[in-house]
Structure 1
Amino acid sequence: MANKHGEFNQKIDYVFKVVLIGDSAVGKSQLLARFSRNEFSLDSKATVGVEFQTRTLNIDHKTIKAQIWDTAGQERYRAVTSAYYRGAVGAMLVYDMTKRQSFDHVVRWLEELRGHADKNIIVMLIGNKSDLSTLRAVPSEDAKEFAQRENLFFMETSALESTNVEAAFLTVLTEIYRIISKKALVANDESESSGNSSLLKGTEIAIPPEPTGGNQSSCCMST
């Protein structure tokens, strides 16, 4: 039953699954809590298994339901990988900017992501805990260079202070929407000319080679 604002019977145009990956204790669950519920818990416990939160937002007058999945970063939960990545169109690859080891492991996480997920998945590299600037162990230049080399978006965030959390998720979701909507437009044009509506049923996301603005590199083009 809808409330007086009509939120429950709101038409959902797209559902985008986004996964959080990275070492344990880098703040993945806190980023999720901040984005989905605007909450932060100082006594957060390690995630066991898999959980997800949703948040509905509007992009370009379309209603997007973001389904954000979170899993434990510990090795013993690696068995969830194939199901965890299935259907994901975006990923937040998180490291703790005060722990160099968590950044060094980003390469391994990216390899796993690309081994299980769609090759054109949108990836945002996130250096979390930017509020602890005096304890910085990963220069932002190192992360920027890695992101540019791997065609990732990059932002530094603070789940504690709510810095760039919204911007990071919105960047990924907006980029996914831009690509999906452009693909649907092309499919519509082709189906009208050929009478073949099955083109709309494809799941592969094709990323056009367009330059992106600002300091972010173009995202996730396969080589």
Structure 2
Amino acid sequence: MCIRDRYYRGAAAAIVVYDISSVDTFVRAKKWVQELQTHGNQKAVMALVANKSDLEPKREVEAEVGEQFAQENGMFYMETSAKTAENVNELFYEIAKRLARALPPKPTGMNLNSNVQDRGRSYYCCSA
């Protein structure tokens, strides 16, 4: 097993982030997605996050390009700004919501069976 596999092989979720004002970061993000698809958990919830939405005037990667790439790769897409906190809470809420759907809770405790087993005894009640 490669060292990198230890970091994300068992991950239940992955967030791949790029900077909307840098095409280079989008290209690197695409490589990370391929890496995760090859070596990561195939059932993981994956998000493609376009960060620095506060830099809209300097945008180099259009939202439609990111959305399309995310859709083609089974990911959900969101734009955020770590600087202004725009959509940061929403991102983690969406991941939690998708994880809850994908990984239903495992039952814990005892399994109580409501079936009564007949052991060949009969009980009668009489009234006077």
Cα distance between partner residues in 2 of 1:179 and 1:119:
12
Structure 1 residue 90 corresponds to structure 2 residue 13: yes
Q: State how far apart, in whole Å, the 2-side matches of 1:83 and 1:114 are.
A: 14
- 1:45-64 paired onto structure 2 within 5 Å: none
Question: Which secondary structure does the structure 2 equivalent of 1:118 belong to?
Answer: coil
Instruction: Give the match for residue 105 of structure 1.
Output: 28
Structure 1 segments, 4+ long, off by >4 Å, are none
Partner of 2:39: 116
2:18 counterpart SS class:
strand
Relative contact order (C-alpha < 8 Å, sep 6+): which is higher? 2
> Do residues 146 (structure 1) and 69 (structure 2) align?
yes
Larger radius of gyration: 2
1:24-39 aligned at under 5 Å gives the runs: none
Look up the SS of the partner of 1:94 in the other structure: strand
Structure 1: gaps of 5 or more residues: 1-78, 186-190, 193-223
> Residue 40 of structure 1 aligns with which residue?
none
Residue 107 of structure 1 deviates from its aligned partner by 2.1
Residue 80 (structure 1) shift: 4.3
Paired residues of 1:90 and 1:172 also in contact (CA < 8 A): yes
1:100–1:137: 8 Å Cα contact kept in structure 2?
yes
Unaligned runs of at least 5 residues, structure 2: 113-128
Structure richer in strand, relative to its length:
1
TM-score when normalising by structure 1: 0.45
Write the deviation string for residues 46-101 of structure 1: whole angstroms up to 9, x where unpaired. xxxxxxxxxxxxxxxxxxxxxxxxxxxxxxxxx74111113210000100110001
Contact 1:88–1:118 (CA<8 Å) still a contact in 2?
yes
Partner AA of 1:113 in structure 2: L
Is the contact between residue 90 and residue 173 of structure 1 (CA under 8 Å) also seen in structure 2? no
If the length of structure 2 is used for normalisation, what is the TM-score? 0.77
CA separation in 2, counterparts of 1:175 and 1:95? 21
RMSD: 2.1
| Matching of residue 161 in structure 1 with residue 84 in structure 2 | yes
- Percent identity over the alignment is 33
Aligned length: 109
